[in-house]
Amino acid sequence: RDGIILLFIIGLCVAIKLSQRMNKMKQHKQELIASQQEEELNNLKNQLNPHFLFNTLNSIYALIDICPSTAKNAVHELSSMLRYVVYSNPETVDLKSEIKFIQNYIDLMTIRFGDTANIDVCINMGNSENHKIAPLIFITIIENVFKHGNTGDPSHPMKISISANDGHVTCHTFNYYNPNSKSNDNGIGISSLKRRLALIYGDKANFAISKTKDTYTTILNIDLN
């Protein structure tokens, strides 16, 4: 009987030791995954910022010969945007800060294209302006509207809508294709956006693209709660 009790105690000790070791290995694996995800997110941000900057600089460069005074205003808009991108780089920002950045970008593009572009913009943050959101989460799809949209034809409207309520935010874009750009960006921009959404929000974010022969539509839903 004493031998059986002794074996039981030894078995219990071994089981506890194995359980502790398994928990330690599980914790180490979780820390490793978190570290890898953080590194991947940083890499995606590093890809995004130059991508955005180069495209914006090209927009201003196109303005210099056409209208120097307008280009000057565009540089002022860009400086506000760069301040946000370069110096404000936390993991999350207030939704109102992100929306202000998007509005500055839209203003810059409106300066560039002037009356040739038919741009319908609707932004309503409701009661969610202080909710936290990952920075630069909208810029890729907003940028594509101007990059691939038919900005030279006022009869082909471009639509940008961002609305939020109770921490649920939706970004909707629509544009006709520019005849000289038959496909919207399905490269680094959209791929990086999808990966960021998966890493940061998981199943709390949903991103859908709808294409026809002449049009391109995106809908991005994020639950910020």
Q: Which amino acid is at 129?
A: E
- What is the helix (H) or strand (E) element at residue 69, kind and residue range? helix 68-82
Highest-scoring range by mean pLDDT, 77-86, 114-123, 141-150, 204-213 = 204-213
String of DSSP letters for 128-169: -TTSEE-TTSSHHHHHHHHHHB-TT-TTS-EEEEEEEETTEE
Highest-scoring range by mean pLDDT, 49-53, 158-162, 180-184, 197-201 = 158-162
Counting Cβ atoms within 10 Å, is residue 22 exposed (0-12), middle (13-18) or buried (19+)? exposed
pLDDT reported for residue 110 = 81
Q: Could you report the per-residue pLDDT of 41-88, keeping only the tens digit for each? A: 555 565 555 666 776 777 777 777 777 777 777 777 777 777 776 665
pLDDT reported for residue 216 = 92
Which tops the pLDDT comparison, 95 or 190?
95
Instruction: Indicate yes or no: pTM above 0.75.
Output: no
Q: Could you report the per-residue pLDDT of 121-142, keeping only the tens digit for each? A: 999 988 888 899 988 889 889 9
pLDDT reported for residue 169 = 96
Residue 31 has pLDDT above 70, yes or no: no
DSSP state of 91: S
pLDDT reported for residue 221 = 96
Which tops the pLDDT comparison, 77 or 187?
77
Residue 91 has pLDDT above 80, yes or no: no
